[in-house]
Chains A and B, each alone.
Chain A
């Protein structure tokens, strides 16, 4: 018996050592204890005994299954390794080589690529749990994380669900019920209709009662899917139609509800942590106002907007709500906060949130570890007074998407080069991919969560700038340019943000960084010196001004560091060819330049211009996805802005509109087709 424990204890040590390398801004109490012993250099037996005790004091589960994929599966596995828990990963057939599969101790395939047949396939997952004898299941976020049926089936098999019990999931998962519960728990709620809306006519009637603008959303929804804002009767009808379709396809439940739409709000949420003994804590807030299409892009903790009183009031209401539903595990209570710091309950997410790392950074807690402890039945280790706000943390969601198309349309492909900026201090990257991974149409296009930490907001943001510049992602489109623009935008830096930040700041869509004259000169000087890379230091004349460029580049490296007149920058040269065409990522945005010798530049004005394809009469798919509906046929006359077809990608329905008025010449797609980015859909005459 003793021999067995010894080997297990040693296992914890090894895993903890490995884990601490990867998770850089992590400092749970348990880990600090361990580090102390390791660095203290005491005798081996003392070390062993302490470890032995630690093992029993932390004993939770022997084996845990992670019913998820991607970064969150990897995130959970890291904590499991730290706690000495064996892990089982599940995967679809296309994910057979995924990082989470490689990281886990065991991995089992649960079906083909579509999520309905794999990650949502409860029968197959239950089978794997039986086969591998996993004692607990961590659902991550999305997929089955808020599925009460799954939690119920696990309970009936005697397997622990790392999350709240079915009652809380059900109560909070239903927006109508949760709103009633919140009202009863004296939580501020948004005025609205507390029932299911039957049809479009009723929707209009209710909307008029509440007063425009109104928000139509799926009762079972989350993550912005099945959500529409309506400003008049017509939009209400249209929104009703779209939302019920999206709700049906995303959640298999097309019930909708309507409530007053709070104009220009901030989205601030409170992290709560509760145990099975009636204790509950609030772990401060996260500011998640920077969103596009109701999906978060940049998050931070704490918020610049909250004063201690508001924070406490929100935290106490959140805890009251958690207690009212006998909540256990980690959860998030989302609030909308208006400009006068009135806050309204939006919903409660009964799972680990995507953006949980920022809370971990400022509180020093490992939320996954706390969730596992709570699920095992341990009481919370902390008191409300122990929960600090240490420094500032910012998270950017790095997506494989093209930010120049409505702030981000999914892109797919293989990551031909991928390098995380882990050499920048105080950076944490939660990712589930590596060089060579495929970003496929089947799953969420998130590449990673990039988190930076600093003693204050300015420091965290400065590090984020550096981290974004040092992030190498090739092979797929990515939103680094948008993220970098957001975090340096004066309004963001001052904290003047709302959920409408992106459409307000970029009313004509995001167009990339606008170079100032100085930056333009810097870019040109850098590009010029790239042409003659053998010189370490050189003087470049741009528009009559002399700039000193110092660099020691290795052009085989994806990151190039250069100093122009004392300003240090990290740039990336994405491509070059013999004719001088060069693409350089500078300040996050990719610039196309042509670098020519003086002779070639002078002669190039005599070269003929070649006509480009006229794109106004053809409609191409802006992203890979499936055609849901085609509303025109050849010979129809369409007017500018009229809907031509609807493409669904990543469970979002996108309406494709005509760029000009004209007659339809040919339709190249039909409902049900799968289309790739750039595929021809419809031609106009």
Chain B
């Protein structure tokens, strides 16, 4: 029996003390680089590379034997996650000598040798077509090595860019990550963080204080909360190392191994023709009342499972992975519960990046639309909502994976066009009976058309446009469907669309409005 179970009962404090590693503050609450790999990969599946590599620096007494560690400050290799190949590097913030003593390997800092080891696994991963997972825990550049260390960073950045769109790249930030080092995670497809122990920033609080005179803590400046809720740099944060690594394993199951692989298909026990009766009542009668888009997503997904990406950032749009009849799909949905589900700068960028990832890796897209439009205001216009909103439009239009769209309620104005509409090469576009496809809400429309002179005009406009028929008559939605049949329809469409091929005119690459 290889499982161990713990009922969540309080453990007496005395026992906890006994079990705790008495370590320096630096390693408090952290696992070692190798323990992390042990948890991430299947048992006995890790094949390590370059265990004998040492750094080549001879200045500042670095060539003495006590300053040399076999493998230097990173562990690299390949292994399997639920049987599927992955390349891994795990930076060494500290090592354990015994249960009570630890030491750091130059604070996990990046030497030329360290970078070379990472580049080797990235090259192999791109060649065989398998994802790269980085477990980042590094103090930054190895200052003793000078420009050699900077060159090492650049070598990694180049490979991050070349691998982008070829194999999925995932960064899990498990400790400090500052200065130039932050750009490697930023270039990868997904960045996850561990709460309370990981930080990402260009310059630390001391430099900030001396330059801008701002008082700020590490946590406020670049902690998990900041990056998952405010800056949008990280895609999700986890409670601790174990939680993060176990979630990473779960997340990995959704991903194809490379851009040449189709979206993975799991064995599915949830019937594909399952009716979902609660969807018939999920949209409230009053069109001003909010509901939770996550309720819809959970209820149609296989076994109600949904891996949400960026759950705390730009919450007016929901993005994440789920499975339909066993096949991975990317789901995008406006969230009426937050800011009425409108599109603004942050939500457009969040949506656009997710859509492009799915398109790059052959993951079908399912879009749930309930959008009252783009958010008006000076803050948005000055911030460049036109430019940023265009990103989402660009991403949906460019995507050639199967695209299925369900309009649950409002699809107003330009936002209707943007949200994977039929006009942007949508494959199957459906409307629920509650859908309203119009240029704007009835009140505003009537004010413009009649300047308030027509008393019954509002009712007429509602009659004409606050329903899915005008769009259905023009073929802009393929069908008006009973909400409870949504899962069934999507699964049938995905089956058919599995063999979809579509291409765009030849180009070096498109010019997305960055």
Interface residues in chain A, defined as those with a beta carbon under 8 Å from any beta carbon in chain B: 93-94, 96-97, 414-417, 434-438, 520, 524, 527-528, 531-532, 539-542, 554-557, 577-580, 591-610
Q: Among A94, A539, A557, A602, which residue has its beta carbon within 8 angstroms of that of B4?
A: A602
Which one of B128-136, B146-154, B276-284, B362-370 is at the interface? B276-284
Within 8 A of A (CB), among B218-255: 238-243, 246-247, 249-251
Tell whether, in the assembled complex, residue B279 and residue A436 are in contact, meaning their CB atoms are under 8 Å apart.
yes
* Chain B positions within 8 Å of A541 at CB level: 1
**Contact digits for B110-133, partner A, Cβ 8 Å, 1 yes 0 no:** 000000000000000000000000
Tell whether, in the assembled complex, residue A436 and residue B282 are in contact, meaning their CB atoms are under 8 Å apart.
yes
Tell whether, in the assembled complex, residue B249 and residue A578 are in contact, meaning their CB atoms are under 8 Å apart.
yes
Q: Among B4, B30, B295, which residue has its beta carbon within 8 angstroms of that of A416?
A: B295
Interchain CA distance A97-B29 in the complex, whole Å: 52
* Chain A positions within 8 Å of B278 at CB level: 414-417, 435-436
Q: B285 in the interface, Cβ–Cβ < 8 Å?
A: yes
Q: Among A436, A438, A528, A578, which residue has its beta carbon within 8 angstroms of that of B250?
A: A578
Q: B303 in the interface, Cβ–Cβ < 8 Å?
A: yes
Tell whether, in the assembled complex, residue A606 and residue B31 are in contact, meaning their CB atoms are under 8 Å apart.
yes
* Chain B positions within 8 Å of A603 at CB level: 31, 35, 39, 241-242
A289 to B: closest C-beta gap in Å: 34
* Chain A positions within 8 Å of B197 at CB level: 608
Of A96, A580, A602, chain B has the most CB atoms within 10 Å of the CB of A580
A634 to B: closest C-beta gap in Å: 29
Tell whether, in the assembled complex, residue B21 and residue A436 are in contact, meaning their CB atoms are under 8 Å apart.
no
Known contacts A556-B303, A580-B246; A593/B38 CB under 8 A: no
Interchain CA distance A74-B197 in the complex, whole Å: 57
* Chain B positions within 8 Å of A97 at CB level: 280-281, 285
B304 to A: closest C-beta gap in Å: 8
Interface residues in chain B, defined as those with a beta carbon under 8 Å from any beta carbon in chain A: 1-8, 16, 19-21, 28-31, 35, 38-39, 43, 196-197, 238-243, 246-247, 249-251, 268-271, 277-282, 285, 295, 298-299, 302-303
Closest residue of chain A to B23 (Cβ to Cβ) is: A606
Closest residue of chain A to B274 (Cβ to Cβ) is: A556
Main SS class of interface, A = mixed
Interchain CA distance A243-B4 in the complex, whole Å: 55
Q: Among A436, A596, A602, A606, which residue has its beta carbon within 8 angstroms of that of B280?
A: A436
* Chain A positions within 8 Å of B238 at CB level: 579
* Chain A positions within 8 Å of B281 at CB level: 97, 436-438
* Chain B positions within 8 Å of A578 at CB level: 243, 246-247, 249-251
* Chain A positions within 8 Å of B8 at CB level: 592-594
* Chain A positions within 8 Å of B269 at CB level: 554-557
B19 to A: closest C-beta gap in Å: 4
Known contacts A434-B277, A603-B39, A606-B20; A524/B250 CB under 8 A: no
Closest residue of chain B to A520 (Cβ to Cβ) is: B7
A251 to B: closest C-beta gap in Å: 31
5 further interface pairs, Cβ-Cβ under 8 Å (given A436-B282, A528-B3): A416-B278, A417-B278, A579-B247, A592-B8, A594-B8
Of B6, B298, B299, chain A has the most CB atoms within 10 Å of the CB of B6
* Chain A positions within 8 Å of B303 at CB level: 555-556
Q: Among A579, A601, A606, A608, which residue has its beta carbon within 8 angstroms of that of B6?
A: A601
Tell whether, in the assembled complex, residue A607 and residue B242 are in contact, meaning their CB atoms are under 8 Å apart.
yes
Closest residue of chain B to A596 (Cβ to Cβ) is: B4
Interchain CA distance A542-B299 in the complex, whole Å: 35
A555 to B: closest C-beta gap in Å: 6
B175 to A: closest C-beta gap in Å: 13
Q: Among A436, A579, A596, A604, which residue has its beta carbon within 8 angstroms of that of B3?
A: A596
Interchain CA distance A577-B298 in the complex, whole Å: 14
* Chain B positions within 8 Å of A592 at CB level: 8
Of A556, A591, A594, chain B has the most CB atoms within 10 Å of the CB of A556
Closest residue of chain B to A601 (Cβ to Cβ) is: B4
Closest residue of chain B to A542 (Cβ to Cβ) is: B5
Known contacts A414-B278, A436-B279, A555-B303; A96/B7 CB under 8 A: no
Tell whether, in the assembled complex, residue A595 and residue B279 are in contact, meaning their CB atoms are under 8 Å apart.
no
* Chain A positions within 8 Å of B279 at CB level: 436
Interchain CA distance A592-B20 in the complex, whole Å: 24
* Chain A positions within 8 Å of B6 at CB level: 593-594, 596, 601, 604
Tell whether, in the assembled complex, residue A528 and residue B5 are in contact, meaning their CB atoms are under 8 Å apart.
yes
Tell whether, in the assembled complex, residue A93 and residue B277 are in contact, meaning their CB atoms are under 8 Å apart.
no
Known contacts A96-B285, A416-B295, A437-B281; A607/B29 CB under 8 A: yes
Tell whether, in the assembled complex, residue A556 and residue B241 are in contact, meaning their CB atoms are under 8 Å apart.
no
Closest residue of chain B to A523 (Cβ to Cβ) is: B7
Closest residue of chain B to A598 (Cβ to Cβ) is: B4
A556 to B: closest C-beta gap in Å: 4
Tell whether, in the assembled complex, residue B29 and residue A606 are in contact, meaning their CB atoms are under 8 Å apart.
yes
Known contacts A434-B277, A599-B38, A600-B242; A524/B7 CB under 8 A: yes
Interchain residue pairs A-B with the least CB separation, the first 7: A436-B278, A608-B29, A578-B250, A556-B270, A601-B4, A556-B269, A436-B281
Of B30, B238, B281, B299, chain A has the most CB atoms within 10 Å of the CB of B281
Interchain CA distance A49-B249 in the complex, whole Å: 71
A24 to B: closest C-beta gap in Å: 22
Closest residue of chain A to B299 (Cβ to Cβ) is: A416
* Chain A positions within 8 Å of B251 at CB level: 578
Interchain CA distance A434-B280 in the complex, whole Å: 11
Closest residue of chain B to A531 (Cβ to Cβ) is: B3
* Chain A positions within 8 Å of B21 at CB level: 606
Q: Among A417, A594, A609, which residue has its beta carbon within 8 angstroms of that of B5?
A: A594
B9 to A: closest C-beta gap in Å: 10
B419 to A: closest C-beta gap in Å: 25
Tell whether, in the assembled complex, residue A579 and residue B4 are in contact, meaning their CB atoms are under 8 Å apart.
no
Tell whether, in the assembled complex, residue A414 and residue B295 are in contact, meaning their CB atoms are under 8 Å apart.
yes
Closest residue of chain B to A528 (Cβ to Cβ) is: B3
Q: Among B3, B243, B268, which residue has its beta carbon within 8 angstroms of that of A598?
A: B3
Interchain CA distance A566-B456 in the complex, whole Å: 72
* Chain A positions within 8 Å of B299 at CB level: 416
Interchain CA distance A435-B5 in the complex, whole Å: 34
- Contact sample, A vs B, 10 pairs, CB 8 Å cutoff: A97-B285, A416-B295, A416-B299, A541-B1, A578-B249, A578-B250, A579-B238, A579-B243, A596-B6, A598-B2
Interchain CA distance A591-B9 in the complex, whole Å: 11
Interchain CA distance A568-B35 in the complex, whole Å: 39
B10 to A: closest C-beta gap in Å: 11
Interchain CA distance A578-B269 in the complex, whole Å: 19
* Chain A positions within 8 Å of B271 at CB level: 556
Of A437, A541, A577, chain B has the most CB atoms within 10 Å of the CB of A577
* Chain A positions within 8 Å of B280 at CB level: 97, 436
* Chain B positions within 8 Å of A94 at CB level: 285
Interchain CA distance A436-B2 in the complex, whole Å: 40
Of A96, A591, A607, chain B has the most CB atoms within 10 Å of the CB of A607
Tell whether, in the assembled complex, residue B246 and residue A600 are in contact, meaning their CB atoms are under 8 Å apart.
yes
Known contacts A416-B295, A436-B281; A604/B249 CB under 8 A: no
Interchain CA distance A300-B196 in the complex, whole Å: 55
Interchain CA distance A119-B31 in the complex, whole Å: 62
Closest residue of chain B to A98 (Cβ to Cβ) is: B281
Q: Among B5, B39, B302, which residue has its beta carbon within 8 angstroms of that of A593?
A: B5
* Chain B positions within 8 Å of A555 at CB level: 269, 303
B5 to A: closest C-beta gap in Å: 5
Interchain CA distance A602-B2 in the complex, whole Å: 12
Interchain CA distance A93-B302 in the complex, whole Å: 34
Closest residue of chain B to A417 (Cβ to Cβ) is: B278
* Chain A positions within 8 Å of B1 at CB level: 528, 539-541
Interchain CA distance A361-B16 in the complex, whole Å: 56
Tell whether, in the assembled complex, residue B3 and residue A597 are in contact, meaning their CB atoms are under 8 Å apart.
yes
* Chain A positions within 8 Å of B239 at CB level: 579, 610
Interchain CA distance A644-B285 in the complex, whole Å: 37
* Chain A positions within 8 Å of B4 at CB level: 596-598, 601-602
Interchain CA distance A531-B3 in the complex, whole Å: 9
Interchain CA distance A437-B282 in the complex, whole Å: 9
* Chain B positions within 8 Å of A539 at CB level: 1
Closest residue of chain A to B291 (Cβ to Cβ) is: A414
Interchain CA distance A540-B4 in the complex, whole Å: 11
